[in-house]
Amino acid sequence: MPAHRFSRRSFVLAAAGASLPALPAFAQAQAGYPSRPVQVVVGFPAGGALDVATRALTNALAAEGIAPVVILNKPGASATIAGAQVARSAPDGYTLLLATSSNMGIAPHLYPRLPYDARKELVPVAQFAVGQNVIYAGQASGIKSFAQLREKLRAQPGQLNYASPGAGTTPHLTFETIKVREKLFIVHVPFRGSPAAISAVAAGELEVGVDAIGPTQAFIRSGRIVPLAQTGSRRSAILPNVPTFAELGLTGIPSGTYLGLSAPAQTPEPALTALRDAMRRALAKAEVSQQLAQAGFEAQFVDGPAFGEMMTADSLQWDQAVKYSGATGG
pLDDT tens sequence across 63-114: 898 989 999 999 888 888 999 999 999 999 999 999 999 899 998 898 878 8
d(C-alpha 97, C-alpha 121), whole Å: 12
Could you give the maximum distance between any two Cα atoms of the chain, in Å? 80
d(C-alpha 290, C-alpha 144), whole Å: 29
Report the share of the chain in percent with pLDDT over 90: 69
For residues 121 and 265, the answer to whether their CB atoms sit within 8 Å is yes
d(C-alpha 49, C-alpha 234), whole Å: 21
Task: Read off the DSSP letter of residue 102.
Answer: I
Q: Which residues contact 207 (CB under 8 A, 6 or more apart)?
A: 137, 138, 141, 143, 160, 161, 162, 201
Domains in the chain, ordered, with CATH?
21-26+35-131+257-325 (3.40.190.150), 133-230 (3.40.190.10)
Sheet holding 161-164, edge to edge: 187-190, 161-164, 208-212, 133-138, 225-230
pLDDT tens sequence across 269-328: 999 999 999 999 999 999 999 999 999 999 999 999 999 999 999 998 898 888 888 877
pLDDT tens sequence across 254-274: 888 999 999 999 999 999 999
**Number of C-beta neighbours around residue 18 at 10 A:** 9
**This model's pTM is above 0.85:** no
Identify the bridge partners of residue 87 per DSSP, sorted by sequence position: none
